[in-house]
Amino acid sequence: MTPIKSSIVLFLAAALLLNFKVANAQSLKTAVEGIDGYAQWATSTEVIMVEGDYNGDGYSDIALVRQSSGWGTVPVAFSKGNGDFAITNQPCDISKFAVAPCHIVVGDYDGDGKTDIALLGKKGSGWGSFVIGFSNGDGTFRTSNKQADVFYQNYLSAASVTIVAGDYNGDGKDDFAFFSQQSSWGKAPLALSNGDGTFSRLVK
């Protein structure tokens, strides 16, 4: 190889190496900014961190739901299983409902293997529905806002009520169980998920 050709080859190699470093530096910068942004969101006022497997890959992820105005999104940190996270921050109607006094209860309410986010109104919220954000697995959610039985509205209005999600009838979909520390309660009412945002009453 002549000295001129050798110089050209070295110049091209150096240029490729420089472009590679710049591209990777930019990717690293974007990743770091995503993590930093998520950390900042997580420390915002009245933000609730809710764990779940929002894309069904077997790893636990973390979603942020803010219970005060100012947000129109639900940020999600998807775990890669090695300590790294992929960050999304997509528009979601859940953020609009979450500003009212409500319980945030996560579970797989349609049985598709992905965690969903449910909002159930607390006492004084004036709600007459169950709001469910069904996860699409990519950081977006399909929001359902179906009328709730008046029966459940009465239980939700109790000051000491606790809602626990679980598959109480073994059909692969998570349901709601209602518990209270009030001595007047002698039962644990269940709301059995139909998979579409509606629930069937079961009281024993």
Residue carrying the six token digits 């979450």: 98
Q: CA-to-CA distance for 12 and 9, rounded, in angstroms?
A: 5
Does the structure show a pLDDT above 70 at 136? Answer: yes
The predicted model scores a pTM of 0.79
Q: What is the pLDDT of residues 139-172, one digit of tens each?
A: 999 999 998 877 777 777 776 888 999 999 999 9
Q: Count Cβ atoms below 10 Å from residue 138 Cβ, excluding itself.
A: 12
Q: Residue 190: CA atoms inside 13 Å, Cβ hemisphere, count?
A: 14
What's the CA gap between 191 and 202, in Å, rounded? 6
Burial level of 63, CB count in 10 A (0-12/13-18/19+)?
A: buried
CB 120 within 8 A of CB 103: yes
Candidates 76, 96, 98; CA nearest to 86 is 76
pLDDT digits (tens, 9 = 90+) for 57-93: 999 999 999 998 889 999 999 999 998 999 999 999 9
Question: b/e for 23-45, b at 16 or more Cβ within 10 A?
Answer: eeeeeeeeeeebeeebeebeeee
* Statement: residue 17 has pLDDT above 90: no
